[in-house]
Chains A and B, each alone.
Chain A
Amino acid sequence: MSFLEYAPAPESQAILNLRSEYGLFIDGEFREGHGTPFASISPATEKHVATIAHADASDVDAAVAAARRAYDRTWSRMSGANRGKYLFRIARLVQERSRELAVAESLDNGKPIKESRDVDVPLVAAWFFYYAGWADKLDHVGLGAAPAPLGVAAQVIPWNFPLLMLAWKIAPALAAGNTVVLKPAETTSLTALLFAEIVQQADLPPGVVNIITGAGETGAALVGHGDVDKVAFTGSTSVGRAIAKQVAGTSKKLTLELGGKAANIVFDDAPIDQAIEGIVNGIFFNQGHVCCAGSRLLVQESIHDEVIDRLKTRLSTLRLGDPLDKNTDIGAINSAEQLERIRELSDVGEAEGAERWTAACTIPENGFWYAPTIFTNVSTSHRIAREEIFGPVLSVLTFRTPAEAIAKANNTPYGLSAGIWTDKGSRILAVADKLRAGVVWANTFNRFDPSSPFGGYKESGYGREGGRHGIAAYLKTAAPAAAVAPAPARKTVSKGATK
């Protein structure tokens, strides 16, 4: 055993008390879905975790109806102070059950326990704690006195941060006085259903939070439902586009958090040790399943070789394997489908002439895995420099001048995030000003906080989550808006279930 090898240190699953089957959570209770139930597996072992109910259009109807009733009769009439107290309760319950939630998340999603335990779940609690305090202070959001909630919010979230994305969606919606129907991603329903149990423990009025599970068509039915007032989606740009088209012509308010291809820019005067850690964190955090991942490394030409050498050395120390092992750095790829996409794009990278380097690590026999990979000699026209890989694959490009770095960083239809590494403060400010990205990390990367707005420019979506901006997305001004023209009668607007 070398000094870099550790004995296995798996987190115990004994803390979990999972049911073999989970229903839909509608109107405060679990019920069976009308679709065919599906299995949720652990991506690290491909072993069955639980059977999950599948919501069809009638279940979507029932969930939206429950949310509407709860909105009309209870939640929109409740004082902000009481809404806030419910959210504080939820924050505390998340903290109390944090170890259980972290284990469940790593089991179901494949992310390392050190991330679910130290990042995802603490941020979930922080998110509820932050927005709980807003509930009785809505006059100060910036929309004038007594802003009004929107009504029923349809929320569809991805599989990369299952419980955290749930918190990003539910906490501000509830604080503002909306009720919600949330659909987790098909491969990661588990923690949302554990959250439903927390909702029961908090004694939240029935129907305020409804969680329906299923695949893409369930989400489409929810988004297209005629009695939904707000749609919030986090996921791929292609689905985001489809949703924007689906809600076109309706009065539904829409926020979209979509894909990214962030540039992480390293100047020659960067604090190099921190930069190496930041590059690793930027693209290998959560196996690179991060919409804001620093997937394009833009490194100044003069330090390219040094950075790459140090990066390879550092990556060779990363431990890939059992997500529940406390020493694991790189967990499992979330699904066979995603693994296939990563492989495909990486092969394209090689075929287009980029130079591939993969860290030597033992790949477990079962499950879905991809070793940390770096592509050097990448051009801006390569697909691995343009398309979101959503995996532990870093594309390295070089630049000579700040102007070139900015031009390359902005040369993408996305605009979610970016990173800047330099010791020169004035350069940080000047470069940050010119980057077309919603979140810029200077001498750090992948930091998140409930008080900090997050969201994209251009095709990375619109709207912000987090902070004051995040709650404004769930409110409207009390003053009557200018009369919106009625839609032309000639076409049907919504494609999903309508009432």
Chain B
Amino acid sequence: MTRLAVPKTYKLYIGGAFPRSESGRTYEIVSAKGAFLANAAKASRKDARDAVVAARAAVGGWSGATAYNRGQVLYRIAELLEGRRAQFVAEIVDAEGVSAAAANAQVDTAIDRWVWYAGWTDKYAQVAGNANPVSGPYFNISVPEPTGVVAIIAPQDSSLLGLVSAVAPALVAGNTVVVVASETLPLSAISLAEVLATSDVPKGVVNVLTGSPAEIAPWLASHQDVNALDLVGAGALDWIDLQIAAADTLKRVLPPENGPDAAAPSLDRITAFVETKTVWHTKGLI
């Protein structure tokens, strides 16, 4: 007699915990071949707001951590992903209907992307900031700082890599994230959340919502306590409306991107979510 499998319940990831949607809603996730995979939580407006509260609460600790520490935490995500790669490969094969080789390649790239961004935490400020030779007796320095809470609509055609490519760069500077996963491919996002929960990422630094981006995105775009909006995966939504909503609080906004190169690794993705602070220090006249 074959053993009966124990399927996983996929829930949201908010503030380091895995709650169901407060709305009680789920929606069915099917494989590329149409077979039932799981019921994912369908996040509501309130879940999105809870996620923002959790993200805001985490800003102080994460942005206040040393760059060296953040780098190690991000690197540890790569370590844990490496150890659980088989699970992700299987999930991607099921969900996307791709070959094991293609799924392996996606996981490889996702892991390597964490490593690449982990290495930026203690370098980007040296590249993006500078000392300024002002005309006067002042020491003047410009330093980039995280903007705060970043809401992300993840690329919709990718299980893992798109999500990692959008989330990792936002974390480098010390921002915290509320990410809406791919609507049809959300399971790897929750599995990644399990990796985050068991690595050293403080609770609230990454919050993952599954469900309908069209339903959730407007609440994030207009939320007063969200500082930036990454619309990378919002190409199929009414994203101009989202930009207009974001303008009410003058959020920093990245536009949608299409294709396999969406959210390609770049320093720009890090500096899109930083603020440059310039401090003038009077030099004593001795």
Contacts and interface: CB of A to CB of B under 8 A. Distances in A.
B142 A447 contact: no
Contact of B239 (A244, A249, A454): A249
B142 A469 contact: yes
A467 B244 contact: no
A186 B227 CA distance: 33
A458 B250 contact: yes
Interface of A: 126, 142, 237, 240-241, 244-245, 248-249, 256, 258, 413, 415, 428, 432, 435-444, 447, 449, 451-455, 457-459, 461-462, 464, 467-469, 477, 482-485, 487-488, 490-491, 493
A436 B60 CA distance: 12
A274 to B, nearest CB: 8
A438 B277 contact: yes
Contact of A455 (B133, B140, B261, B276): B276
Q: Which 6 A-B pairs have the closest CB atoms?
A: A485-B235, A249-B240, A244-B247, A248-B243, A449-B134, A485-B256
A437 B142 CA distance: 12
B250 A258 contact: yes
Given A443-B281, A485-B258, A493-B240, A453 B235 contact: no
B257 interface: yes
B130 interface: yes
Contacts of A484: 255-258
A464 B276 contact: yes
B239 A485 contact: yes
A469 B128 CA distance: 9
Interface in B246-265: 246-250, 252, 255-259, 261-264
21 contacts: A244-B246, A245-B243, A249-B239, A432-B277, A439-B279, A442-B282, A447-B136, A452-B142, A453-B278, A458-B250, A462-B252, A467-B132, A469-B276, A482-B261, A482-B263, A482-B264, A483-B258, A483-B261, A484-B257, A490-B238, A493-B240
Interface of B: 127-128, 130, 132-136, 138, 140, 142, 147, 227, 235, 238-240, 243-244, 246-250, 252, 255-259, 261-264, 268, 275-282
Contacts of B258: 482-485
Contacts of A483: 257-259, 261
A123 to B, nearest CB: 10
Nearest to A477: B268
Contacts of A439: 277-280
A440 B248 CA distance: 25
Given A249-B240, A451-B133, A451-B134, A244 B280 contact: no
A444 B138 contact: yes
Contacts of A459: 249-250
Contacts of A436: 275
Contacts of B138: 444, 447
A454 B128 CA distance: 15
Contacts of A413: 249
B135 to A, nearest CB: 6
A430 B249 CA distance: 28
Contacts of A249: 239-240, 243-244
A440 B257 contact: no
Contacts of A447: 134, 136, 138, 280
B278 A440 contact: yes
A461 B250 contact: yes
A413 B249 CA distance: 9
B250 A126 contact: no
Contacts of A477: 268
A452 B132 contact: yes
Nearest to A491: B240
Nearest to B284: A443
Contacts of A451: 132-134, 140
Contact of A440 (B134, B243, B277): B277
Contacts of B244: 245, 248-249
A462 B280 contact: no
B278 A485 contact: no
Among B128, B135, B238, B239, chain A packs the most CB atoms within 10 A around the CB of B135
Given A438-B277, A453-B276, A464-B276, A458 B247 contact: no
Given A142-B127, A452-B132, A452-B134, A442 B279 contact: yes
Given A449-B136, A493-B240, A457 B257 contact: no
A243 to B, nearest CB: 8
A239 B11 CA distance: 42
Contacts of A452: 132, 134, 140, 142, 278, 280
A453 B142 contact: yes
A487 B227 CA distance: 23
Contacts of A490: 238
A291 to B, nearest CB: 14
Nearest to B247: A244
Contacts of B248: 241
A458 B136 contact: no
Contact of B259 (A441, A464, A482): A482
A123 B247 CA distance: 32
Given A438-B277, A458-B227, 5 more contacts: A248-B240, A249-B243, A441-B279, A447-B138, A451-B134
Pick the most buried of B142, B238, B248: most chain A CB atoms within 10 A of its CB.
Answer: B142
Given A432-B279, A457-B147, A491-B240, A485 B255 contact: yes
A428 B268 CA distance: 30
A425 to B, nearest CB: 8
Contacts of B282: 442-444
